[in-house]
Structure 1
Amino acid sequence: MISEFSGNIANAYDLTVIGGGINGVAVASEAASRGLSTLLVHSRDLASGASAPPVSLAAHNLQALSALDLFQLTNQLDEIKHLQQVAPHLIDLLPVQQLNGEMANHERPRLVQRIFKHLRNRSLSASTSSSSAGYNIVARIKPARMVISLALEAQHHGANIVTYHRVQSAERYEKHWGLTLESSQSASRTYHVNSRWIVNCSGWLANDVLEQVLKVQTRAKATAEFRTQFFFRNPLKHDPAARKIFKIRGNRLDFHVYHATDDILAFGPLKCDQEGYAECIDIQQEFLEAWNNSPELEQHARKLTGEDILYKRRGNIALIHDPCGNDDTPLTVPLLDIDNPGSKAVLMNIFGAEPILAQKTARQALDALQVFTGKKAHSERRKRALPGGDIPTSSMTDFLVQLSTAHPLLPVKLVHRLARNYGQLATRILQGVASEQDLGIHFGNMLYEREVEYLVENEWARCAEDILARRTFIYLSSDKKILLRLSEWFAERRNKKQDSATKSAEQ
């Protein structure tokens, strides 16, 4: 169990991971599972970067085959199937359809598109229902929850996960790094740590960490690309909460629309070159026109207006300028770079991030470092479920029914949200709960004190935004009153802890 950070940082570690995005937690989990004493340091909350949106699609575009990279495509498909086995609550394999439910395969794709779709559908169709035969199959994943699950797994293996702290300075010695860590919330709180090796997983900020903190120059460079994800009110008329993926054709773009929650749909992230949150207004307008002009709209969904757009999540996606390529062709798949001057401690940099490939990237990184660490991967580790992934039923659908049956006096919508968010860990939140009164304070939008306490004690949540934006995603459909109530709860909790500490000191 964890709570607010208590300063429990050791003086020395085998490996320090800088960055708490999808790559960082995957590397920390892999390293700790191999028996390396591991520290992960992140200046903000986990899953606060661009690699961890609440929900996104995987392997749905032609990125891998645009360079005829069949190897990367196969990797993505293998990792999708693996995630379905070890964390079924974090992934859905869904057919791409039109609003009327018919398959969205009527266009005549180019040869490379047909190859991509054939390989993807052949690989994934065995995991979908027979009613999806002939449809394009796409994976809907939850990167932010993946980050938390991998961090929990890393902690289970012994890693120390330290949020809201940054590496303020570093000295490179022959056999280790000397690091000074500083609290992001109090500059007076510093810690000195020795680490034999460092893995830099800072995403699009990798260059800043390298040059300003670690004082290292490398061949590869990280760069950022603005991409925006749009969230809007669910306008579907029939079975609106059933998870689906729709393809909506615009004049310039095709939009893949998918469920973020029961009540909210999303599309993107899409590249936006304009600055500020007024950016991508042209994309938003094209989407609204495409949706409202869909021939199947009248019977299956209502029209949308700009007021239905609830939130735009903009993130700086980490791209890579390959030292063997040029600035016109940045890479998106992760690139490993080892800096080993021979007479100084080793540094590895991971440039770029692809959530579905994070665990494979971590295995490759630790395999590359094995010549220094001497630690091999455990053959059985890959077969183990991620925290929450060990559901006791054969499918998520059956698990939803089982959990709802076990708590008949709770709203079905609440039970389903908890099951989809936490998997088997939802049973810990609901342990001993018979009615809503047992859940404690109701902050609004079916967020109760029992869930908040679980997140504070077990998932590194430190403030209201951590819970609303990166654990439950209730912020997508909540008002400011929930944020205010939750912020007051955290303030009262801190005051109680301070009063308790004062009384203990006086005694």
Structure 2
Amino acid sequence: MSDDKETVDLFVIGGGINGAGIARDAAGRGLSVVLCEKDDLAEGTSSRSGKLVHGGLRYLEYYEFRLVREALIEREVLMNAAPHIIWPLRFVLPHSPDDRPAWLVRLGLFLYDHLGGRKKLPGTRTLDLRRDPEGAPLLDKYTRGFEYSDCWVDDARLVVLNAVDAAERGATVLTRSPCASARREDGAWTVTTKDRLTGEERTFRAKALVNAAGPWVSDVITRVAGANSSRNVRLVKGSHIIVPKFWEGPNSYLVQNHDKRVIFINPYEGDKALIGTTDIAHEGEANDVHIDDSEIEYLLNAVNRYFKEKLRPEDILETFSGVRALFDDGQGNPSAVTRDYVFDLEDRDGAPLLNVFGGKITTFRELSEHGLQKLGHYFPTMGRDWTHDAALPGGEIKNADYDLFREQMKADYPWMPRALRQHYGRCYGARIAMLVGDATSVEGLGRHFGGQLYEAEVRYLVEHEWARTAEDVLWRRTKHRLDLSEAEKADFAAWFDAQQRKAA
């Protein structure tokens, strides 16, 4: 390891949505930035969400009107920034007299329609579930319902695209490189990282340090930075199950369980459904998280309470669980804990430490902007706020109109099968040309590994998106894992590992 320190303005710990968003915002203001992540980008909480950009309809019940309003405003900002990975969904909310009263639901939906200055999404409507097609898969006792709008997001790709934009604006992004130590020295931070795959150590001298480590934020404060904070986080586990899609149509469903918690049932990857989430206090290590039998039973019971087709444990294709680090506001019920974010700025010896507590995917851009505003005193020459109207990589689509872009793809790539064109469009948007290169046929995309996975995409992900393991490709950069056989996944992993050894 060299004794030379690389000097930067800002060092960011944490490669989830908040860390990647802050790194992007800072780089776009002209600051020199390093982002380090102990695992892969979005490997923790940020790839294990419910995949929604939403205002948080249920937060109205806890009087979080400001949070909902800000999230609703951000919903449309993000739709414009990344229309390839964020798109509208219509949610069907069947009503039962056993649940919240209809007048309360209508009031909540009215507020939801009007709090955030909705412009692009259609408003709420009332459904007659006996006649409207959305009622077909539901039990006959549900005769009335409501339909409202929110948005879908590919959460892991949202993180990666922020990191890509940060890097293209000059930031250094280090994956699988935990921060080994961070200490104040002579009015700045000395930060050391070590790459877990190569063993390379690097030392940086940074004017300011941002701790956006999510569930590990407290660990970074005490163990890594040797600091302290009066604020705490509460770890809450949320689990999801993936099953074959069991209804017709593109809409989602929002149902209420016996305990009054709501469960989302969303179309997923074409022919599948994503169901979640649970909300359970988590006391163990944030790395050690998985769904348990009681959560599976809980989610299946919620679905079977409403739908004619009954789901069984053997219908489950895949599960995932994540730990959300929520700002501890003293609420006993995990569902009632605020999803808002809080900053803790500690300044000793002229070396500021900004700790980030809480937050949600929908408000990451605003969180990042506010975080940089907090640090503005230390960087008086940095640029102004800029991300509100800026597209994310691949989102540079005219008028943010994905339907027009899809038609253009048909003209540009007539040789490409529809399913493959749809996959590339939804993952890479306007950057599809960078992936396809000079190919004029499917054969020109290189080796086929099964499903829609070709060698050209893998090489793009390695060269441009820090994919360093087979799992990075199959699960976080894409969802190919859901469509490859066990043999195909094993063959791909062997090929990928061999390629990485050659490149080393």
Please point out which of 312, 328, 331 is paired with 1:321: 328
Q: Percent identity?
A: 26
Change (3 A) 1:424 1:330: same
Residue in structure 2 matched with residue 257 of structure 1 by the alignment: 265
1:371 is aligned to: 377
The aligned amino acid for 1:59 is: H
Structure 1 letter corresponding to 2:440: A
Q: Does 1:192 align with 2:203?
A: yes
Q: In the alignment, does 2:453 pair up with 1:447?
A: yes
Equivalent pair of 1:55/1:144 in contact (CA under 8 Å): no
TM-score (ref. length: structure 1) = 0.85
**Equivalent in the alignment of 1:215:** 226
1:450 partner letter: A
After superposition, the Cα gap between the structure-2 partners of 1:289 and 1:190, relative to the gap in structure 1 and judged at 3 Å, is closer
Q: Against the structure 1 CA distance between its residues 352 and 414, is the aligned structure 2 distance closer, same or farther, given a 3 Å change threshold? A: same
Q: Any conservation in 2 of the 1:65–1:116 contact (CA below 8 Å)?
A: yes
Does the aligned pair in 1 maintain the 2:30–2:383 contact within 8 Å? no
Given the alignment of the two structures, is residue 228 of structure 1 paired with residue 221 of structure 2, yes or no? no
In the superposition, the TM-score normalised over structure 2's length comes to 0.86
Number of aligned residues: 474
Compute the displacement of 1:277 (Å).
7.6
8 Å Cα contact 2:359-2:367 kept in structure 1: no
Indicate whether 1:407 and 2:402 are aligned: no
User: Contact conserved, 2:109 with 2:124, CA < 8 A, in 1?
Assistant: no
Provide Cα deviations, 1:408-429, integer angstroms capped at 9, x if missing partner. 3322111111111121122322
1:109 Cα shift?
3.9
Q: 2:17 aligns with which of 15, 22, 45?
A: 22
Name the counterpart of 2:153: 141
Query: Which letter does structure 2 place at the counterpart of 1:389?
Result: G
Unmatched runs of 5 consecutive residues or more in structure 2: 127-145
Q: Of 347, 352, 371, which aligns to 2:358?
A: 352
Q: Is the 8 A contact 1:42 1:165 kept in 2?
A: yes
Letter of the structure 1 residue corresponding to residue 495 of structure 2:
W
In structure 2, relative to structure 1, the CA distance for the partners of 1:111 and 1:319 (3 Å cut) is farther
Q: Does the residue aligned with 1:317 lie in a helix, a strand or coil?
A: strand
CA deviation vs aligned residue, 1:364-383 (integer Å, no higher than 9, x gap): 01101111111454355421
Change (3 A) 1:428 1:223: same
CA contact (8 A) 1:14 1:197 kept: yes
CA offsets 1:227-266 (integer angstroms, 9 cap, x no match) = 1021111223x45xxx421234544454321122112210
Within 5 Å, give how 1:92-111 maps onto structure 2. 92-97=87-92, 109=101
Asked whether 1:331 is paired with 2:338, we answer yes
| Structure 2 residue identity aligned to 1:388 | G
Q: 2:450 matched to 1:438?
A: no
Unaligned stretches of 5+ residues in structure 1: 1-6, 499-507
Match of 1:203 in 2: 214
Taking structure 1 as reference, are residues 382 and 180 closer, same or farther at Cα in structure 2, changes over 3 Å only? same
Deviation at 1:396, TM superposition (A): 1.8
Sort the Cα spacing of 1:416 and 1:104 in 2 relative to 1 into closer, same or farther, 3 A. Answer: farther
Superposed CA RMSD: 2.9
Structure 1 counterpart of 2:267, which letter? H
- Given that residues 54 and 151 in structure 2 are in contact (C-alpha distance below 8 angstroms), is that contact kept between their aligned partners in structure 1? yes
Residue 156 (1) aligns with residue 156 (2): no
In structure 1, give the amino acid aligned to 2:325: A
| Deviation at residue 69 of structure 1 after TM alignment | 2.5
Contact 2:41 2:159 (8 Å CA) reproduced: yes
Alignment partners' CA distance in 2, 1:403 and 1:357: 31
